[in-house]
Amino acid sequence: MPITTSHSRLLPHGRDKKPVRLCLISYNPLTQLANHLLHEFSSRAQVVVFDETFGSAVEVAKERERLGLVDAFVSAGGNAALLRQNVKTPVATIAIDGFDLMMALIEARKHTKRVGVVSYEHTVAELDTVRAILNIDIEQRTYRSHEETGRAVQDLKQRGISVVIGSSIVVEAAQQQGLHGILAYSRSGIRRGFETAIELAQVARLENSRYALVNSVLASLQEAVLAVDDGGRVIAANGHAEAALGLNMAQLLDKPLAALKPELNDIALDTRKSGQIHRLINLNTRDWIVRRSPIPDEHGLTGVTLTLYDANAIHEADTNLRSQRRGRILPVARHRFDEIEGSSAAMKQLLGTAKRYAATDLTVLITGETGTGKEVIAQAVHNGSARADRPFIAVNCAAFPETLLESELFGYEDGAFTGARRGGKRGLFEAAHTGTLFLDEIGDMPLQLQSRLLRVLQEREVIRLGSNIPIPIDVRVLAATHRPLRELTQEQRFREDLFYRLNILQLTLPPLREREEEILPLAHHFVKRCLDTLGSTLPVEKLLAPIEARLLAYPWRGNIRELQNIGERLAVHFAQFAREEDVEYSSLAFDCPELFFSEDAQTIPMDQQIRDALAATNGNRQEAARFLGISRATLWRRMQKMSHETLKCDS
């Protein structure tokens, strides 16, 4: 017997005083779990529950639909998939998200290290990652019917599996074969399913009332719009539709659309998708985007509206919108060529080459050690190009797991994988359309994604996960790496064809140790900037003078990034003193040990080290000895030796 919840209050945010009518079609034990939650929705919905699966579930749903007793269905797994194929009423899915599955696996892990997961139609690829995290062996099977469920569970049992995770019928099949079954669904997932169903039902009711007002609405619209009944005859149109189709109202109304414009009729009668669809067509030598919106009533679909948008106008609006959104896209290309410090001959030559490359639209491969400023150069190239007012999107290829990086780059469709955002998501290639995509650390991109990236670069189109429809893109690609890509291609760790596709233009940033004349100006810049932030007005040049030799001798393996970090540490140390004369250099070694105790720093001649120490301590020999890490007597002997050698040279 079906179970019906009580109700006492009006629907929130709606004009209809009657609560929405929901029909939950599920199977034990999901039905039992859902029954405990029905009271939470009693004020907003009247819920009828049926314990059915597959064919019988479809029969029940069709009967409820025929009698006009339902506004939306709620179901899960195979039931939900079958209902969508066989009924016109909206179907909300009780989905299993990543957290639900993780909790089920954790529960299963309490019993055994070998677990079976049986899912409808498709296995869950992400479980390969979870396997290692939970230290658990996972065997996956799929089903499409009751019979296949039993066979899948039996196969797992023969493989020695004692715990099985899945839907209601999977749990039941496991229990029938003496196994421990764990339901993959959670109470939060059921709540989300009911919330979605209420929303779908409210939207459906609004669609019904909107259909009653369609004629008055059409007249007020600026787009070309016409309405077609379920028999394919035009029942309404506006003046813009007359102009777009080249037909007057007498020629349109009550006429078969198939006889007037067959290409529009094909869109109107397209039953592959029950919701809105969009198509690009050519009418009277002009390109139009056609949107089909269904017009349902309590008994199903009574027709559709076709809205025609001028493709050229959409393109212009899209361009303007992308430009306006540029400021909200992170990271923003902030750096320009005229802001980059480059006093060395090597940097002057590189910046000149980069400016010439910026004027082209070709792919640029930027190489160099970590911290040399590859992204700064990439941003400058973008800002120096014709795409400067377009989006600049940067992604670190080493910062994401392979599966996440794939969805970030290429996007995904609704339902492409467990946990996917409703409605899908566009990827970074689409977000960078008409602009620049910067692929940092390209040398760390997994081989499988390298193949997809190569296709995008060759075809200039992207295909979202879960889709087979290519989306054209206009994107300039800049790539950067600190790794030797040629060597990686020889080791078959990087695709050779992708390397040549990326290496059209190349910029190699020299390390900081090869740009010695830039070290001190950069150090002054970083220290002063930080001192300004700290509110200190101490003179930077005099502060750094005693340690300039150490700054020049240090190898700077972290390059500009490391110099910036140490510069900020120096500034924090200096800022604690009110006057230049009060600065204690002897304690600076504790804040910046790299400059004072590294082997590379010891390559500074001892005579120079002593002079620096005496200058830093205003001639105080005791402080200078402590600064150098030697005794006062040793310092005295070395100073005597320096004086003796100076006298010999003078004579």
8 Å CB contact between 269 and 232: yes
CA dist 52 and 26 (Å) reads: 6
pLDDT at residue 477 in the model: 94
Closest CA relative to residue 26, chosen from 77, 72, 68: 77
- Asked whether residue 601 carries a pLDDT value surpassing 60, the answer given is no
CA dist 215 and 363 (Å) reads: 52
pLDDT at residue 179 in the model: 93
313-359, pLDDT tens digit by residue?
776 666 555 555 544 444 567 889 988 877 888 888 999 999 999 99
- Asked whether residue 648 carries a pLDDT value surpassing 60, the answer given is no
CA dist 186 and 102 (Å) reads: 11
pLDDT at residue 11 in the model: 35
Q: Please give the residue that has the higher pLDDT: either 618 or 59.
A: 59
First-to-last alpha carbon distance for the chain, in angstroms, is: 117
Domains of the chain: residue spans and CATH: 3-95+189-206 (3.40.50.2300), 98-184 (3.40.50.10660), 213-309 (3.30.450.20), 337-510 (3.40.50.300), 518-650 (no CATH)
pLDDT at residue 630 in the model: 66
pLDDT at residue 8 in the model: 29
Hey, what are 84's tokens?
């969508």
Q: Please give the residue that has the higher pLDDT: either 157 or 226.
A: 157
Out of 39-43, 320-324, 487-491, 613-617, least confident range: 320-324
CA dist 225 and 214 (Å) reads: 10
CA dist 650 and 107 (Å) reads: 86
Residue written as token pair 């998708």: 273
Look at phi and psi of residue 86 and say left if phi exceeds 0, alpha if psi is from -120 to 50, else beta: alpha
Out of 49-53, 434-438, 507-511, least confident range: 49-53
Closest CA relative to residue 379, chosen from 338, 408, 343: 338
Residue written as token pair 């919106």: 293
Closest CA relative to residue 476, chosen from 393, 373, 377: 393
CA 61 vs CA 27, 79, 89, 110, 295: distances in Å: 14, 10, 9, 39, 20
Task: Give, for 137, the enclosing helix (H) or strand (E).
Answer: strand 137-143
Closest CA relative to residue 44, chosen from 180, 202, 268: 202
Closest CA relative to residue 373, chosen from 472, 295, 447, 482: 482
8 Å CB contact between 475 and 429: yes
pLDDT at residue 649 in the model: 55
pLDDT band at 211 (very low <50, low <70, confident <90, very high): low
Task: Collect all residues with Cβ–Cβ distance below 8 Å to 318 and sequence separation of at least 6.
Answer: none
10 Å CB burial of residue 328 (0-12, 13-18, 19+) is exposed
Calculate ∠ Cα 613-617-623, nearest 5°.
85
What percent of the chain is predicted at pLDDT more than 90? Answer: 25
Pairing of strands 286-297, 300-310: antiparallel
- Asked whether residue 299 carries a pLDDT value surpassing 70, the answer given is no
pLDDT at residue 383 in the model: 93
Helix axes 98-109, 127-134, angle to 10 degrees: 40
38-81, pLDDT tens digit by residue?
888 988 899 999 988 888 889 999 999 888 888 999 998 888 88
10 Å CB burial of residue 6 (0-12, 13-18, 19+) is exposed
Average of pLDDT values for 381-401? 90
- Asked whether residue 213 carries a pLDDT value surpassing 70, the answer given is no
- Asked whether residue 583 carries a pLDDT value surpassing 60, the answer given is yes
Following DSSP, what letter does each residue of 25-80 receive, concatenated? EE-TTHHHHHHTTGGGGTTTEEEEEEE--HHHHHHHHHHHHHTT--SEEEE-HHHH
pLDDT at residue 548 in the model: 85
Average of pLDDT values for 301-323? 71
pTM of the complete model: 0.48
Average of pLDDT values for 182-206? 88
Calculate ∠ Cα 564-570-573, nearest 5°.
145
Hey, what are 256's tokens?
């078969």
Task: Collect all residues with Cβ–Cβ distance below 8 Å to 581 and sequence separation of at least 6.
Answer: 618
What percent of the chain is predicted at pLDDT more than 70? Answer: 86
Closest CA relative to residue 420, chosen from 438, 400, 399, 406: 406
pLDDT at residue 271 in the model: 55
118-146, pLDDT tens digit by residue?
988 888 888 877 887 888 899 999 988 88
8 Å CB contact between 401 and 442: no
Helix/strand/coil for 281: strand
Helix locations, 221-344, DSSP H: 239-245, 249-252, 257-260, 262-268, 311-325
pLDDT band at 503 (very low <50, low <70, confident <90, very high): very high
Helix locations, 419-493, DSSP H: 428-431, 447-459, 485-490
Residue written as token pair 């030697």: 630
Following DSSP, what letter does each residue of 436-447 receive, concatenated? EEEEETGGGS-H
Average of pLDDT values for 402-417? 79
Q: Peptide bond before 262: cis, by omega within 30 degrees of 0? A: no
pLDDT at residue 597 in the model: 58
Hey, what are 575's tokens?
């800022």
1-22, pLDDT tens digit by residue?
344 433 322 333 444 557 889 9
Pairing of strands 461-463, 286-297: unpaired
